[in-house]
Structure 1
Amino acid sequence: MSAHGMGPVLVGRAIELAELTRALDAAPGAVLVGGEAGLGKTRLIREFRSVVECDRNGRMLVGGCLELGSDGLPFAPFTTVLRGLVRDIGLDGVAALLPRGDTGGLARLLPEFGDPDTQAASAEERARMFELVLTLLERLAESGPMALVIEDAHWADRSTRDLLSFLIRNVGTAPLLIVVTYRADELHRSHPLRPMLAELGRVERVRRMDVSRLARHDVAALCAGILGHEPDHDLLDRVYARSEGNPLFVEALLDSDGTLACELPESLRDLLLAGVQRLPEETQDALRDASGGGTRIEHRLLSAVTGLDDATLTRVLRPAVAANVLVVDGDGYAFRHALIREALHDDLLPGEHTRLHTRYAQALENDAGLVPPGRLWIELSHHWNAAHDATWALVSAWKAAADTRKAAAHAESLAMKQRVLQLWDRVPDAAERIGADHVEVLREAVRTAELSGEFEQGIKLVTAALREVGTGPENAAVRADLLAHRGRMSFDLARPGFIEDLRTAVALLPAEPPTRARADALITLARFGRLIHGTEEAREAARESLRISRALDDRIVEAHALHALACVDFNYSFDYSTGGMAGEGGVWLGRTRDIAEESGNQELQLQVAVTRSHFYEGAGQHELAIAVARAGLEQAFENGVGRTRGSILASNQAEPLVSLGRWDEARAVLSKAMEQAPPMSIRTSLFVLSGEVAVGHGDLAEAESWLRSAREVTWRKTQDLFAALRLEAALRIEQGRFADAVAAAGLVLECPELPDDARYAWPVLTLATMACAELRGTGLRGTAPPAPAVLDDRPALPLLAERVAALSVQGPLQEAWRLTYSAAATAADGVLERSAWDLAGAAWRDIGQRYNLAVALLWAALAAIHDGDRDAAGVRLREADDLARELGARLLLERVADLTRRARLGGPARPGDANGASLGLTPRELEVLRLVADGQSNRDIAKALFISAKTASVHVSNILGKLGVTSRGEAAATAHRLGLFREPVS
């Protein structure tokens, strides 16, 4: 029997199998296995299973994507995986692997876990389900290496692709290998899998594997496996020429008697059908019937469609199984290769095609138990549509839309609703049949489009619905709802007209009597309007929503209104007596927090965590910001919303880490957040912070790349626009492009009244002013001839000063920027004032910003040099040097060395200047040795350096060998004796 069929020997795939085995040994990770149809990807996976389960004593879970036209079944391969796992370890065994035994979150994948909520699944519930699947897989992998294989990803539905991408991006340290197979020849230019593969290919620990055609000697071995003896030279030549090395073609070309099937046509379809045609006629009929049910079909369903009883069907199919056209798969059958099914199905005449799918639909309607729960209506939708029955295709599509909505498969639900809309005019009584008129279907499709992120389509659907909805007062609520949807989606697509839609939505809803609908519309206007437009409109909208909530006695709406008010009137002044925001904003935020805690409302609690961490960072309370964001992030993951709300909190955790110079920690947080494919609304923050870490480390090319990414999504709000300009100004200064750094402030000058202006304007204006000093020749470089500092051909300094004069100063962080600006402006006027830079340095020291402190010390040292006070300059340079070394700020360290050299200050040798190079230690090994000397375990080292414990162990072993010692204690003693590390700065 063929080695690429069910034979014991795998032909021509030793390299691929070895690569999969190496990936398993190096897990966690993922391998994307592509190749044209018939190259033996499935056979390779079968052989790999023996490696996983026999050689490595691990576990493999396999699920295949199903092909049902363009519809697909949401999460189908994961349903298969879970069903197999339940068979292996039982429901209780699965529950034992999940936090608090919470299997309910998986009910949308497998009904055995409970009855999913009948309401539409929210984005948070969907994210929670994703997190549970990841947790389950990682817990399974704790007992040994594990492989999750998803086959035929070219047929994957949108939901399956989303979950698969999430798992690959977020797998932690457990030895879990994810293998994805797909047909490369199916991936046409617009195929939805193409961008996913491209994105995943850039993820660390993901490798691509292309399965190629067999060489001639491999075809010879394959023929020998099929025939049971070596083929003669002539036969091999003909088989190799005809098959072109495709194993499936080789199998189809060879007859069991050892001759070449010369009568077969050239195309694969004809080859495959020729093999089927050698079977008995009744078997061929049953196979043609089976082809309508997909690659795999349940025995009971095929029995119902064919009209054959169990015994007769078994007898009829036995020749197909013996010929390896069909393989037994659990309680059903699978075609040996999907192309066989496709060839059979495509060979049906139009009338046969219609009648076959009608029989499938009728069989399913007569007995819903023929398919697993949750699949009935989507399969009926597929079959009635293929049978060209517009009425029942519409009805079943509407019911399928409800089922897919419950499963949080929003993209598939949208496709079903669009089918209803496409068929509407062909079904005269459509509204009566589904219990909803055309406008309601459009509104449902709009809601689903927003949930699934299909904003362009959603806006078109809104526009279509608005054309049908009358403009009378009786339709005001419907029009307002549609406009609110369009406004939000327009905002996400960066379309400026969003605010007009939100305003109109509010205007359509009467103020009396007070309604929840108007309160919600007002809160939406306040939330989105404050980000770009003036705050007065947002403030009044929030106040009115607060009045409505109190009139309705609705505490949750009241909390949202109070939160909106606090955000509109954000105040970065820190109240040391309460540890929170000063003024009315602090009172409103405190009340919101109280209601959130008292009600247990998770959404409100996370909103408060986002706002508090944002406030603490803006107020210069970096440690508090980290603590609040970290706790909120943990809560977000516990509640299954790590990808949504958690991504915002990850940004809020990373920002203070960047401010404090804890760049490696920040990079780890940012990397994990970006791997989750976060919403577009927060990507700019992640990009900017990543760029600032790169600037700090001196990786300017990387910083430039992050800046390019940040520029793509910077229009929305001050936090995006000005933060990107902040990164640009800092980067241009490090590149010595001072005029460009000044130019970066141009948009800040043009946009003086954006919300949250001062927090984000101060850094850009200050950096631009420092660049003016460099251009004047009174900066840290001081080597280039002076050049004019201009903006739009006007002197830059007066423009910057005018903008600064209108800025408020709230909290210690903004005060530190103000003092730095003042010192820089004096330098740009040609005067270096040591006291001004010392004041700025003291402000940065008070809030723990070591990088900005080091920069201020450098400028203060420069001023001391100009004053002729070399001792004062030396003191400041030594501290700046210490800080730069602690931070790993390469360019800052070079600035210190350059200024020291130019001033001929020299400098005493330091024990900490030893770098371990003379001992043969690499920089990474020196980092590990530093932690060893601090008494850290391998697990602690791994956590601190974001590596695996195994890698830490390898580093420690290498260090012991290079130092010629036998224990960690001896290594630590040697490091201290040689003075490799200075005492930590308190």
Structure 2
Amino acid sequence: MGNRSDGTPRGMPELIGRGQHFDAIWRAYRMAADGRATVVALAGEPGIGKTHLLAALAAHGAADGAIVLRGSASEAAGMPPYLPFLEALGGYIRATPPERLRAQAGELAPVLATILPELPTRIGALAPGYPLPAEQARLRLYEAIGFFLAAAAEGSPLILILDDLHWVDAASLDLLAHLIRVQPTIRLLLAGAYRPGEATENPALTRALAELSRLRALTIVEITPLDRSALADLASARLAAPLAPDVLAALHQKSEGNPFFAEELLRDWRESGAIIETGAIWRATPGLAASLPATIAAVVHQRLSRLDPATGALLQTAAIIGRRFDAPFLSQVAGLGDEQTEDLLQGGVRARLLGVDGDGTYAFGHDTVRECLYGDVTPVRRRRLHGFIGRAIEARGAAHTSRQLAELAFHFKNSGDRARGARYSRLAGDQAAATYAFVEATVHYREALDLLDADVAERGPVLLSLGEAASLANAEADAVAAFEESETIFLRDHDPVAAARGARGAGRSAWRQELTAQARTAFERGLAHLDGRDSREAVEIMVDLAGLLGVSQQRQQEGVVVGRRALTLAQRLGERSLETAARRALGDVLIRGNDFAAGLPLLEAALSAAIEEDDPAIAAECCSALFHAFYWLGDLRRAWAMLDQRLTFARRSNDLHQLRHVYAWQTMQLAHQGRWAEAAATLDTAQLLVERLPNPEAQGFLQVVRGTLAWLQGDYETAETYARRVVGIFRTLGPGALLWYLAPLGILQIKRGKIEEALATFAEVEGLLAAQQSGTVQAADALSWLGAGAVLLRDRERAARSFGQLLPFAGRHTDFLVDRVLGELATVLGDWPAGEGYLAAAEAQARAGGDRIELPNVLAAQGRLAGARGGPGAVARARDLLDAALAHYDELGMAGEAARVRAELRQFAIPPAARPRPALPGGLSAREAEVLRLVATGRSNRAIAAELSLSERTIGNHLTNIFNKLGIDNRAAATAFALRNDLA
């Protein structure tokens, strides 16, 4: 067939002036075809040619053997959630043999059928899936779609085209990001187009693009206007002859390089006689100057005005239906025969206003065409047509799909039929919530409320549903308002149990915003509504209240009382899931009250039950509490392992609130290993997540972690800046929250020589402590910071006071090992035996728990004690301990502490490099000899790393050096050498 002048094969969409853009798109396709899931997004203004490039991708991809699926969104209200995926996957399901569909859907077919009603009609009836909590069920749906697409792409690459991304719903965009995140090796290209100006009005799109960019899976192709040369080629291709220079200049000036505008102008000029072909060139007539509309809409209106009136009227009716429609349905709405409708529609096709698919579905060629037609319909006729369309959809049957429900709600709302509009809006909201599209559900519920009278009983349930959907969409302030209004209506209608549900919802959403006083009031209102009834609702509210009191308000004694009441009632009701929730809440509060003996068994039992019941949300909460328990016990190995479990369950729950601290703590875990680059990347992930939550506590904790990273790396100025920012955030959340985070500012002020400011900070901490319950983990945390301040200040009076206050918490781990602080305080007080005892206990705890940051802190403290105590061999011991601490600090990249230790070593007469050391056999270093000794005991690299609090990679490097120095190549020979030379 040959190629056109633009280089494209005949039969393929033209690429006039778009070769460079298409090359970028095709590179993304090749990457996807090679097994790396990729997204390419075309960005450009309306009419710039994005859809044309997507069509070219589809044609070239199909020619290359790819499976091409298409879906789009619409600006019109009434669009159901997941519409682009419904269209794309629905088309695939209709075109694929049932046997292949059955194999590709597999066991997840019932899950897919929740949004793809075509599936059971193709492969047969499906057994219903088992019910799951909303968050978990949404994740299961996303996983099912991911597996389905992966199966479809096994034989051929898959191109999924999603046009008009700026109008795509939040649920579809969340699904899109999930697919790329969890299926990175699927042979899938997701190709979409969006208008940058309108994209900013869709926060979900902004969020999705940021996530895809972070995953390095996004290519954005900016589609720019055509230059004059490309416009000349476009005109020649459309008119089969070139334009005269003055006509081309007018085209370039008016269209500004916009291809759609240019093509509409050319059609308008030719139809109106503004240009004529003479001598194989299109020249201007006197009418051209009068035929220069200023906008795309204006030129479209001019072309519409020349249509046959009957065709124009029918297209107006079609515009009310939507961007896509089928002729039989349009005939029904318009009251015309099928043949007459088809004849009139062909007029729109000939005018290039409509296109028709292979299955007979019509679509407007551009949104501007539909918008112009819709705007030309009078308000009275528009309402009447919306009513006709709604009743026609209604007549199709009672079992409506999510798309039909959304359309029914839209059309009846705009028809003036308030009763039907409210009913279908509520049903559309329920359907959207059932498919986990919570943002879309809130829109439908609000529309239902707008259509319901203020005094009708139906408002209460709709408001309750709105509150639940808003909370799941992380719109907590909106959720509180909806729940509180539902509570008022239920009380008016004498339904105290439903009122209690509304109060609980308001309390939980307030709590998620750290509005703890408001949350407590709401929970107490809910219990008052129940008036002592033994019910599930009472247990649920008491579980929440116990956690609020004991965790957020630091009122552990009150929280324990409420938690025990909740557990007793749950046991009396005999509902295991309630018992699990109550055990989790009570165990967490007991731990925070420093009663680990009572709290740990409750938490471990709750976690086992949650895993058995397959409740990832409760399991994540159990893991969160157990993580803190092990952290405060100083067992960091178990704490980090529990953090990994927490992440697994939090992801499965698909609840952002469950993830609010996980990545921040993962950052801390990486910092404990000196993996600063990975820590920074993980912190960026945490930032993206926290930005989506209306939770100041989570945002504040992120600043805590940023400051901690700066602190550990010795950048005390930056750390102080973050600490001040943190104090400002938590001061607004109340004294209980502030107490956790105020004291570190004082330590940084000391390190930066701001002693008076530090003393003022510590005075405020002491005042906050006096107002809080004593004996709690939070008290231990604040007291350990005050103790560390007394050590830095060398203040014996403060040290004596801190020592006595910290003693009840010996063996605990707050932000420090408490025993290490006690040992340093004893050193300040000159109590050498006590200091040595506590520091020895701290060293053992750091080694056993794998605390790589506290271990060098302990070694340095032991060195300082040895130097301060004096006596025979004290200087050598101090040097050795400080040297050992320095090695750890250098390995971890803790520059500030390393500099401090180097300064302390310089105070000794002999610098570290010049000190005489006993010669070791084979030229081994002291560290290599220590590693060799442990190899000779039969320990693995992992066990040696744990023993020495080093990374496994570092141990491997040491062994390589040992083998090279000794001329051996295995552990048996190394063991023999160690035994011969008395190293083991």
Is 1:365 the equivalent of 2:386? no
Given candidates 888, 891, 899, the residue that maps to 1:886 is: 891
Please list, as runs of the form range in 1=range in 2, the aligned pairs for 1:876-915 lying within 5 A after superposition.
876-901=881-906, 903=908, 905-907=911-913
* Residue aligned with 2:13, SS: coil
Equivalent in the alignment of 1:872: 877
Which deviates the most, 801-810 or 374-383? Answer: 801-810
Residues 847 and 660 of structure 1: CA distance in aligned 2, closer, same or farther (over 3 Å): farther
Given candidates 492, 505, 508, the residue that maps to 1:485 is: 505
Confirm or deny: 8 A CA contact 2:479 2:506 kept in the other structure. yes
Equivalent in the alignment of 1:627: 641
Deviations 1:10-61 (A, max 9, x none): 2333443344445556655545433221111112222344565556x65554
Given candidates 76, 85, 89, the residue that maps to 1:78 is: 85
Whole-Å separation in 1 of the counterparts to 2:717 and 2:221? 30
Residues 811 and 770 of structure 1: CA distance in aligned 2, closer, same or farther (over 3 Å): closer
Confirm or deny: 8 A CA contact 2:72 2:83 kept in the other structure. yes
Equivalent in the alignment of 1:785: none
Alpha-carbon offset, residue 251 of structure 1 = 0.8
Alpha-carbon offset, residue 239 of structure 1 = 0.4
Which deviates the most, 323-332 or 229-238? Answer: 323-332
Given candidates 847, 850, 854, the residue that maps to 1:848 is: 850
Equivalent in the alignment of 1:941: none
CA-atom RMSD in angstroms: 4.8
Aligned letter for 2:600? G
* Residue aligned with 1:445, SS: helix
Equivalent in the alignment of 1:788: none
Aligned letter for 1:886? E
Which deviates the most, 760-769 or 831-840? Answer: 831-840
Aligned letter for 2:391? Q
Equivalent in the alignment of 1:543: 564
Whole-Å separation in 2 of the counterparts to 1:646 and 1:97? 32
Equivalent in the alignment of 1:34: 43
Which deviates the most, 20-29 or 410-419? Answer: 20-29
Equivalent in the alignment of 2:207: 196
* Residue aligned with 2:162, SS: strand
Equivalent in the alignment of 1:813: 813
Given candidates 224, 229, 242, the residue that maps to 1:212 is: 224
Whole-Å separation in 1 of the counterparts to 2:151 and 2:762? 51
Alpha-carbon offset, residue 558 of structure 1 = 2.4
Aligned letter for 2:117? P
Whole-Å separation in 2 of the counterparts to 1:756 and 1:340? 71
Equivalent in the alignment of 2:798: 798
Please list, as runs of the form range in 1=range in 2, the aligned pairs for 1:403-802 lying within 5 A after superposition.
403-425=431-453, 436-470=457-491, 474-495=494-515, 496-511=517-532, 514-533=534-553, 534-570=555-591, 583-593=597-607, 595-596=609-610, 599=613, 603-631=617-645, 633-634=647-648, 637=651, 639=652, 641=654, 645=658, 658-659=671-672, 680=695, 685=701, 688-689=704-705, 692-693=708-709, 695-697=711-713, 714=730, 724-725=741-742, 748-752=765-769, 758-760=776-778, 762=780, 765-767=783-785, 769-770=787-788, 773-774=791-792, 776=793, 798=798, 801=801
Deviations 1:444-497 (A, max 9, x none): 33333333333222333344345545479x543343222222222222223232
Given candidates 334, 344, 348, the residue that maps to 2:363 is: 334
* Pair member with larger Rg: 2
Deviations 1:740-783 (A, max 9, x none): 67766566434336689754554555455545555x4x7xxxxx
Residues 629 and 738 of structure 1: CA distance in aligned 2, closer, same or farther (over 3 Å): same
Please list, as runs of the form range in 1=range in 2, the aligned pairs for 1:20-31 lying within 5 A after superposition.
20-23=25-28, 30-31=39-40
Confirm or deny: 8 A CA contact 2:180 2:212 kept in the other structure. no
Given candidates 83, 96, 107, the residue that maps to 1:101 is: 107
User: What TM-score do you get using the length of structure 1 for normalisation?
Assistant: 0.78
Please list, as runs of the form range in 1=range in 2, the aligned pairs for 1:136-175 lying within 5 A after superposition.
136-137=148-149, 148-167=160-179, 172=184
Residues 519 and 251 of structure 1: CA distance in aligned 2, closer, same or farther (over 3 Å): same
Residues 734 and 113 of structure 1: CA distance in aligned 2, closer, same or farther (over 3 Å): farther
Identical residues among aligned pairs (%): 23
Is 1:347 the equivalent of 2:376? yes
Confirm or deny: 8 A CA contact 1:770 1:828 kept in the other structure. no
Residues 277 and 542 of structure 1: CA distance in aligned 2, closer, same or farther (over 3 Å): same
Consecutive unaligned residues in structure 2, runs of 5 or more: 121-125, 271-275, 277-281, 926-940, 943-950, 975-983
Alpha-carbon offset, residue 329 of structure 1 = 3.3
Confirm or deny: 8 A CA contact 1:214 1:247 kept in the other structure. yes
Confirm or deny: 8 A CA contact 1:691 1:727 kept in the other structure. no
Deviations 1:189-241 (A, max 9, x none): x6545753785587352465443323323322322332233322111100011
How many matched pairs?
892
Residues 726 and 25 of structure 1: CA distance in aligned 2, closer, same or farther (over 3 Å): farther
Residues 193 and 815 of structure 1: CA distance in aligned 2, closer, same or farther (over 3 Å): closer
Alpha-carbon offset, residue 607 of structure 1 = 4.0
Residues 282 and 614 of structure 1: CA distance in aligned 2, closer, same or farther (over 3 Å): same
Residues 814 and 388 of structure 1: CA distance in aligned 2, closer, same or farther (over 3 Å): closer
Given candidates 276, 289, 295, the residue that maps to 2:304 is: 276
Aligned letter for 2:382? H
Whole-Å separation in 2 of the counterparts to 1:343 and 1:545? 61
Alpha-carbon offset, residue 376 of structure 1 = 1.6
Whole-Å separation in 2 of the counterparts to 1:488 and 1:648? 18
Equivalent in the alignment of 1:225: 237
Residues 614 and 289 of structure 1: CA distance in aligned 2, closer, same or farther (over 3 Å): same
Whole-Å separation in 2 of the counterparts to 1:193 and 1:593? 34
* Residue aligned with 1:531, SS: helix
Equivalent in the alignment of 1:250: 262
Residues 80 and 691 of structure 1: CA distance in aligned 2, closer, same or farther (over 3 Å): farther
Whole-Å separation in 2 of the counterparts to 1:95 and 1:316? 41
Deviations 1:259-300 (A, max 9, x none): 676535323212112233444443323322221122222344
Aligned letter for 2:303? G
* Residue aligned with 2:193, SS: strand
Whole-Å separation in 2 of the counterparts to 1:837 and 1:118? 55
Deviations 1:146-199 (A, max 9, x none): 5544321222233234434545666646565544422233357x6545753785
Deviations 1:96-150 (A, max 9, x none): 567x732333333212456778989712222332344445556666777655443
Is 1:235 the equivalent of 2:247? yes
Confirm or deny: 8 A CA contact 1:7 1:225 kept in the other structure. no
Whole-Å separation in 1 of the counterparts to 2:153 and 2:907? 59
Deviations 1:662-710 (A, max 9, x none): 6667666666566556754756556644654454456779878976886
Confirm or deny: 8 A CA contact 2:827 2:865 kept in the other structure. no
Residues 595 and 494 of structure 1: CA distance in aligned 2, closer, same or farther (over 3 Å): closer
Alpha-carbon offset, residue 849 of structure 1 = 1.1
Alpha-carbon offset, residue 729 of structure 1 = 6.5
Residues 548 and 764 of structure 1: CA distance in aligned 2, closer, same or farther (over 3 Å): closer
* Residue aligned with 1:334, SS: strand
Aligned letter for 2:227? A
Confirm or deny: 8 A CA contact 1:40 1:248 kept in the other structure. yes
Alpha-carbon offset, residue 907 of structure 1 = 1.8
Consecutive unaligned residues in structure 1, runs of 5 or more: 574-580, 779-794, 914-933, 936-943, 947-968
Whole-Å separation in 2 of the counterparts to 1:34 and 1:854? 53
